[in-house]
Structure 1
Amino acid sequence: MSYYDRALELKEELTENRRYLHRHAEVGFELPETRAYVTEKLKEYGIEPHPCGEGITALIGKGAEGGEAGKVLLLRADMDALAMPEESGLPFASENPKAAHCCGHDMHAAMLLTAAKMLKEQENRLAGTVKLMFQPSEETLTGSRNMLEHGILEQPKVDAALAYHVGPGQLPIGLFMYNAGSTMMFSNNDLHIRVKGRGGHGAMPQNCVDPISVGAHIVVALQEIISREMNPKASCVITIGSFHAGTTLNVIPEEAILDGTLRADTKEAQKQLVKRVREVAEATARVYGAEAEVEITDGAPPLICDKETTEEFVGYMRELAIPGTMEQPDVAASASEDFACIAEQVPSAFMYVSAGFPDGRGVASAHNPKVQFNEEVLPRGAAYLAHCAQRWLEEHCDK
């Protein structure tokens, strides 16, 4: 029996797991119900979970009982939701008015749970060790770093990693997308600028330093970095998504707060953006007599998958010969993914699998409160994870 056939047998349980996680959506590192559920299910499947930072890890295979681990493959799923309400109208919609799985991480966690169950059933066939990584706080791009800091790639040492991300929309079920060797997703750094001026009467601007005007000049100046300083061959984005200042119409406030995001397709461009955004914001503020305090988070690097590793996993996925399977190489997106932090450390592959609907249910995109994900993809995702793990360990056990 193939892993896909077994996943179809487990489809009802797989769907129940997904719907429980969906109803109990939680955000960031605050995932008590999610962690408890994943922990309980792993134990139910005969797998011993352990905390790793704010996430969960477990071993299946040769290293699970303390023996020689052999080669180790990491399978990763994120667990956190977005801090937003859900408007899908689904009977299992989020019961948390401040959190919703509008990016599909509940699907990822459910697929990895079922993959873990199937791998445990076939544990004696594994030629090495599978390490599970149930990760918090991907949406803030801090969860991978948290688990890295707590040794997710050590004890036993990880040799390669694999992760999937479901994609809503109107693409057909059966499509999987990947990028072997080039930038698949952009870097990300959060930007926070506090412009400190001098407040006063709105009718007497000559006695003030208007942080709103200064902030507006900063917004415009930052865009000049993209248009006049960055290499045209680089793909970069500076977006100011939030600008807050003042409380009433006839008062010039003391300060303005600007929040935004920086994105780049190479580490070199990311480094240049971070440096120049800080310099331009601070210098522009000084020109107009104000002060700018600039905070830029470490963020995540660009996601660049290992070419050979990705091609290996694509080959294993083809072996399953699931009806309706289609593939699209060379996919890239300007969004960010903190699996990139793992991919910097070990050879890794990251792929999208379509969870779309051809009808009206596929109109809403990810991060939309009305988005829906097609649960028909769940057995495919679970089977891909399990089959790829077993086959990679077989092929690499003597290397």
Structure 2
Amino acid sequence: MYSSIYTESKEMYDELKEWRRELHKTPELGLELPQTVSFVKNKLTELGIPFETKVNGNCIVGYLGSGERCLLLRADMDGLPMFEESQLSYASQNGNMHACGHDIHTTALLGAAKLLKKHEQDLKGKIKLLFQPGEETFEGARAVIKEGILENPKVDAAFAVHVASTLPVKTIAYGTLTATSVFGFKITITGKGTHGAMPQNGIDPINVGVTIYQALQELIARECAPSKEVSLTIGQFNSGTMNNVIPETAVLQGTLRTFDSETKQYLITRIKEIVKNISKAFRAESKIEVLTDIPVLCCDEKRNEEIVKALNLMNAELKIISGLHTTGSDDFAVYANEVPASYFMIGAKENSNTIYAHHNPKVCFNEQVLPIAAAVYACTALDWK
């Protein structure tokens, strides 16, 4: 049966491509995805799959199968607030971009839904099809869990895929310690504004911010063993509006990522100490806000191997490799923290000399991944017992 699923999925290629391109044109952000949700609801309705909405109508949950046990299949739907430079004929024109492939994930799960509806009698349990908002902002998973996604029926395991622009098509990667935790933070420094020609009359928050920035980089270089695989990035530094005015405030936003919870807690404490003490030394005030706090994505080894066996039966040509271990992150980790879960990366590398990574305005994904990803979702569901 699994090989026939792959054949049927390939026969859907043109349809999947059409769906994906429609979604790619209109990326939406965070927890507000009205157009994307409308598209998914229409397709599920056409397929005769019952569904409900959550998160103020911005999340869709479809239902298939019957039985006591339940598997959750998750696809994230949101894009990024960046202008697309891919030069694709169907590139987004609304100032946002599907630069992480979530349009492909959504399409693939819809494709799997069509396959599973056709083979619903072969399912050995209940399947929840979760089309989730807010992954890029790390808000979606917790919002959906808060509204009971893991209950009624109770979810026994979860599965998700993610495309990879740097992996060749037909390559699938998986692992156990798959992705890092995320601690996102915002530092607000308050100084004393003054004329730029008279700095002695003020307290310069930019100067304080620069010192804090440098100290945070040194924190990683001098207090973390290289083997700990830690990254700390300040991705935003905003302050001032004029070249001759020392402003009142400066804002830094950053992300801390690690695979080790003890290291994470140590560094969070040190970040707070550094910000507090440097600010005090320069007579400024500061505060730290927690923006995100997502655990390490730990996948279930037994579930992984069961899925790999099924995928090998589905298509022996797939190159399935273990050891996926990346400093990227995904709020799918929140589900994996609650139930046994698996997370597989599927190759979508373009046939080009220039390959861009995710979150780059020029990144492109090979659409040949669409039937593969749809079949992986479907095969995983049919193998679930």
Normalising by structure 2, what TM-score?
Answer: 0.95
* Matched residue, 1:66: none
Q: What is the one-letter code of the residue matched to 1:371?
A: V
CA contact (8 A) 2:185 2:292 kept: no
In the alignment, the residues of structure 2 paired with residue 308 and residue 264 of structure 1 have an alpha-carbon distance, to the nearest angstrom, of 24
Shift of 1:232: 4.5
In the alignment, the residues of structure 1 paired with residue 14 and residue 214 of structure 2 have an alpha-carbon distance, to the nearest angstrom, of 53
Matched, 1:160 2:157: yes
In the alignment, the residues of structure 2 paired with residue 205 and residue 365 of structure 1 have an alpha-carbon distance, to the nearest angstrom, of 43
Counterparts of residues 259-298 of structure 1 (less than 5 Å): 259-298=253-292
Matched, 1:126 2:123: yes
* Matched residue, 2:15: 13
Counterparts of residues 184-333 of structure 1 (less than 5 Å): 184-323=178-317, 325-333=318-326
* Matched residue, 1:111: 108
In the alignment, the residues of structure 2 paired with residue 126 and residue 297 of structure 1 have an alpha-carbon distance, to the nearest angstrom, of 40
* Matched residue, 1:144: 141
Matched, 1:60 2:67: no
Of 286-295 and 243-252, deviating more is 243-252
* Matched residue, 1:354: 347
Structure 1: gaps spanning 5 or more residues: 63-68, 394-399
Shift of 1:85: 1.3
In the alignment, the residues of structure 2 paired with residue 175 and residue 19 of structure 1 have an alpha-carbon distance, to the nearest angstrom, of 23
Of 6-15 and 378-387, deviating more is 6-15
Residue-pair matches, total: 381
* Matched residue, 1:65: none
* Matched residue, 1:386: 378
Shift of 1:251: 2.4
Of 104-113 and 255-264, deviating more is 255-264
Closer/same/farther in 2, CA of residues 376 and 238 from structure 1, 3 Å limit: same
CA offsets per residue over residues 192-230 of structure 1, 9 Å max, x none?
Answer: 111111122333333222211111111122223323333
CA contact (8 A) 2:196 2:246 kept: yes
2:168 to 169, 172, 175: 172
Shift of 1:283: 1.7
Q: What is the one-letter code of the residue matched to 1:58?
A: G
In the alignment, the residues of structure 2 paired with residue 380 and residue 247 of structure 1 have an alpha-carbon distance, to the nearest angstrom, of 50
CA offsets per residue over residues 93-151 of structure 1, 9 Å max, x none?
Answer: 1132x211111101001010010111111111111111111000111111111111111
CA contact (8 A) 1:142 1:299 kept: no
CA contact (8 A) 1:107 1:378 kept: yes
CA contact (8 A) 1:52 1:151 kept: no
Of 194-203 and 100-109, deviating more is 194-203
* Matched residue, 1:396: none
Query: Percent identity of the aligned residues?
Result: 43
In the alignment, the residues of structure 2 paired with residue 184 and residue 178 of structure 1 have an alpha-carbon distance, to the nearest angstrom, of 7
Shift of 1:349: 0.5
2:329 to 336, 353, 357: 336
In the alignment, the residues of structure 2 paired with residue 352 and residue 308 of structure 1 have an alpha-carbon distance, to the nearest angstrom, of 17
* Matched residue, 1:88: 86
CA contact (8 A) 1:4 1:322 kept: no
* Matched residue, 1:397: none
CA contact (8 A) 1:189 1:261 kept: yes
Of 45-54 and 71-80, deviating more is 45-54
In the alignment, the residues of structure 1 paired with residue 158 and residue 275 of structure 2 have an alpha-carbon distance, to the nearest angstrom, of 39
Structure 2: gaps spanning 5 or more residues: none
CA offsets per residue over residues 40-84 of structure 1, 9 Å max, x none?
Answer: 10111110110122311111001xxxxxx3111110000111111
CA contact (8 A) 1:72 1:128 kept: yes
2:46 to 44, 54, 60: 44
Normalising by structure 1, what TM-score?
Answer: 0.92
